[in-house]
Amino acid sequence: MRGRAGNARPRFDKTENSPFERRKSIMKKALALLLALAMVFSLAACGGGNDGGAADAGGNQPADTGSDAPADTGSDSGFKDARSLQAEFPDQVAWNDMSEEELLELAKAEGGDITIYGISSRIEKICDLFNEKYADDGLKAVAFDLDQTEAIDKVRTEAETKNVNADVLQCKDVAGDIFIEFVPLEYVELYFPTDICEHIVDENLMTYGMPFYSTLSYWYYNTDLFPDAEPITNWWQFVEKDENGNQKYSIVAKEIGTEQAYLSLFASFIVNADAMEKAYEDLYGEPLEYTYDASEFTDIVVPENNAGYEFMYRFSQQEMTFISDGDEIVSAVHNGIEGRPTFGLASAGKISGRDDDGLSIAWLTDLQPYNGIQNCNYLYPIAGCDSPAGARLFIRFMMGDGFEAMCKEGNWSVVDNFENPKNPFPISEANAIAPDLEAIYNVFLDTQDAWIFWLNQNTNM
């Protein structure tokens, strides 16, 4: 499969209802809401609520934002981590300390099915295990196996139309959409079961929500061609040319501009431009030459001399094979393309093709400046759902007995009292950076626009 489906190249779509404009509109709403909340808290701190008005009613004053409050990230935007943000919603905090037994009794009283929107095909298996455990209590969980875009679009649409049909959302948040948009707009809620959170291996994983498990995207290589050692140790090697000036390697991946996880990875290079520049200089022993023209852009501001943009520009001008299915990507690595060593970018879990299908594939595990982003799958109760207690009971189950269904190579548990025996190393040794979703969110749309713009100039596709 060569090029894009139908040979159509993606173009800027800035019509009123396009995803581009829709997300910008939502971003503005979210930022406006955050600014409004900040003004309310600022006025309250200045004594604006001394007349016994609504700010003091019911004892539901948000947590103190003074020096004793949980620390934020230090961002000039006033960014708060998920647990600090949850402290401003006492009704959500109240669920954290409830035991399984307490939640079970409340869930039984709620009645009805507990509905889960999940992006993992294994959610149905978790529901089966849940239903087996709680059958005598009359509880039943029902899974909807959706892709990432479909899941978040359903939650968004149902919230906006006040027609909520699900209780739990399990999804990634690689670009910050959920935490920065859905949480302040109250499409979803935050839940941090206290006893489980005590076992989270790294509290930074809770910066943006309740983590379910970690994974990342890996480059795959052919172990028959390179049986002795990993052939690539630096991202810049993917854009190398041979002694004749021809592209050195065949590249296969999903279309970067339409795959949120990969765009977020490229956005991280822009955020971490200094690290990308150093990786180049460490590899080649000379300064990086910048070849992209930032002045070409009129709708967005692309900075000059940013190593992340430089890498993305060079990558976008290569001949690439875009395949939408991860299993087919790793098969292409095994079979090779055009007689060149072939490297494919896919989720870590696609390593299963090695054992299931006999493919000669392995991960590249030592790329500089880092392999990728430690992507978490997060768990959220959906705001306004019919089974708020049932939702939280199911989330507790997913983090405990239910995680058995998630055990495969490429999925890493985030708790210290469970280890997935199928992984060759712990996530701490995966050479992956923790996500900085605030920073990625702020450059994500510009990253996408720049990629599309440059890809449209590619004469090799």
Domain extent at residue 354: 223-373+444-455
118 CB-contact burial (10 Å; exposed 0-12 / middle 13-18 / buried 19+): buried
Query: pLDDT tens digit string along 69-79?
Result: 333 433 445 77
Is pLDDT above 60 for 84?
A: yes
The pLDDT assigned to 427 comes to: 87
**Does residue 111 share a domain with residue 95?**
yes
State how far the Cα of 82 lies from the Cα of 94, in Å rounded to an integer: 15
Instruction: Work out the pLDDT band at 339, boundaries 50, 70, 90.
Output: confident
**Does residue 250 share a domain with residue 347?**
yes
| Domain-located, residue 343 | yes
Query: pLDDT tens digit string along 404-454?
Result: 999 999 999 999 888 888 999 988 899 999 889 999 999 999 999 999 999
Give, in order, the Cα–Cα distances in Å from 2 to each of 5, 74, 461.
8, 45, 8
Is 86:190 a contact under the CB 8 Å cutoff? Answer: yes
**Does residue 202 share a domain with residue 250?**
no
| Domain-located, residue 435 | no
| Domain-located, residue 247 | yes
How large is the average pLDDT for residues 353-381? 97
Name the one residue in this structure whose structure tokens are 């000036």: 245
Give, in order, the Cα–Cα distances in Å from 117 to each of 100, 233, 316, 391, 445.
22, 38, 34, 11, 26
**Does residue 408 share a domain with residue 397?**
yes
Is pLDDT above 70 for 167?
A: yes
Is pLDDT above 90 for 67?
A: no
Q: What size, in residues, is the chain? A: 461
**Does residue 240 share a domain with residue 125?**
no
Look up residue 413 and give its two tokens.
Answer: 């548990």
| Domain-located, residue 40 | no
**Does residue 207 share a domain with residue 347?**
no
**Does residue 388 share a domain with residue 365?**
no
pLDDT more than 70, % of the chain: 83
Residue 255: strand pairing partners: none
Query: pLDDT tens digit string along 235-244?
Result: 999 999 999 9
- Higher-pLDDT residue of 35, 398: 398
Is pLDDT above 90 for 253?
A: yes
**Does residue 178 share a domain with residue 83?**
yes
Look up residue 46 and give its two tokens.
Answer: 């200045």
Report the Cα 371 to chain-centroid distance in Å.
15
| Domain-located, residue 347 | yes
State how far the Cα of 136 lies from the Cα of 6, in Å rounded to an integer: 53
Is pLDDT above 70 for 8?
A: no
How large is the average pLDDT for residues 149-173? 97
Least confident of 135-139, 148-152, 155-159, 385-389: 148-152
**Does residue 172 share a domain with residue 292?**
no
| Domain-located, residue 34 | no
**Does residue 379 share a domain with residue 304?**
no
- b/e code 301-319 from CB counts within 10 Å (16+ = b): ebeeebbbbbbbbbbbbbb
Query: pLDDT tens digit string along 192-226?
Result: 999 999 999 888 899 999 999 999 999 999 999 99
What is the number of structural domains in the chain?
A: 2
The pLDDT assigned to 77 comes to: 54
Peptide bond into 435 cis (omega under 30): no
Is pLDDT above 50 for 35?
A: no
Q: The domain spanning residue 144 has which CATH number? A: 3.40.190.10
The pLDDT assigned to 20 comes to: 41
pTM: 0.80
The pLDDT assigned to 98 comes to: 98
The pLDDT assigned to 149 comes to: 86
**Does residue 448 share a domain with residue 304?**
yes
**Does residue 188 share a domain with residue 230?**
no
| Domain-located, residue 141 | yes
| Domain-located, residue 146 | yes
CA count, 13 A, side-chain hemisphere, 194: 8
